[in-house]
Structure 1
């Protein structure tokens, strides 16, 4: 079960990264080019929100598996003293939750704006920040192998 959830979590992350990249560039280009906000832009923002929240749910399930929780057997001191354990048990989960919060705030704020330029600005800022946060805390050494 653990391997299956980890596999899904790892490969769903590609979709999340792709959608965050598309949504961020969509917001930047829409803002810079002063484009009209359309249904397609709304769908991109919404789909990015949905896939990122699904990834969060998969990540929570993965985090709460017995195999993962066994990593805490040495206590918090051991987890914090080991860079690999700290990344997997503390940094990655917290930063991904922060990224999801940024995506959710950006999506909510953009819906309240009445004109196109502020909508694109909210999406560019919050989705772009979320993209950077995600990129900083991906366990690249394990992910690219």
Structure 2
């Protein structure tokens, strides 16, 4: 079960990164060009937030079943001195939760805006900040905090 969740989490990462990148792009494009907030834009807003929530749920399942996190919690004073354990035991989960909260706020606030420009601006700003935090908290192969492959498999 753990291996399946890890693979699913790795695959969903790409869907979240791609959909969030596109949502931020359409937000800025619509904001600066004065476009109409169409059904397609609303679909992208909603789909991006849903994918982020799904990824966070899978991430929580992994977090509470991970041997790395279990060791981190049981041996906190020693584990916090190791960057890899500190990243997965504390930093990753906190920043990802914050990123999804910001994405959710942005999605909800954009839906409630009166003008199309305000919808796009809200989408661009909130999801853009969420994207920056999310991108920083992903364990990329080039990350100084913790490295993982670009795609994990069973």
The TM-score by the shorter chain falls in which range? Answer: over 0.9
Indicate whether 1:17 and 2:17 are aligned.
yes
CA contact (8 A) 1:2 1:67 kept: no
Higher helix share goes to which structure? 1
Match of 1:39 in 2: 39
Q: Secondary structure at the residue paired with 2:37?
A: coil
Q: Give matches, 1:132-143, under 5 Å.
A: 132-140=132-140, 141-143=147-149
1:91 equivalenced with 2:97 (yes/no): no
SS of the aligned residue for 2:80 comes to helix
Q: Shift in Å at residue 66 of structure 1?
A: 5.3
- Listed one character per residue, the Cα deviations across residues 71-119 of structure 1 (whole Å, up to 9, x for unaligned) are 2265222232110001111111000000000011101111121110000
Distance 2:68 2:61 in 1: 10
Report the counterpart of residue 7 of structure 1 in structure 2: 7
Q: Is the 8 A contact 2:69 2:88 kept in 1?
A: no
RMSD across aligned positions (CA): 1.4
TM-score, normalised to structure 2, is 0.89
Contact kept, 8 Å, 1:62 with 1:68, in 2: the verdict is: no
After superposition, residues 47-66 of structure 1 pair within 5 angstroms as 47-65=47-65
SS of equivalent residue, structure 2 residue 35: coil
User: Which residue matches 1:144?
Assistant: 150
Q: Which runs of 5+ in 1 are unaligned?
A: none
Residue in 2 that maps onto 1:102: 102
Q: Distance in 1 between matches of 2:6 and 2:78?
A: 23
Q: How many residues align?
A: 145
Q: Is the 8 A contact 1:106 1:126 kept in 2?
A: yes
Report if the CA contact (8 A) 1:6-1:62 is conserved: yes
Deviation at 1:121, TM superposition (A): 0.4
Structure 2: stretches of 5+ with no match in the other structure: 141-146
Give 3-state SS (helix, strand or coil) of 2:75's partner.
Answer: helix
Matches within 5 A, 1:107-118: 107-118=107-118
The 8 Å contact of residues 10 and 143 in structure 1, kept in 2 or not, is answered as no
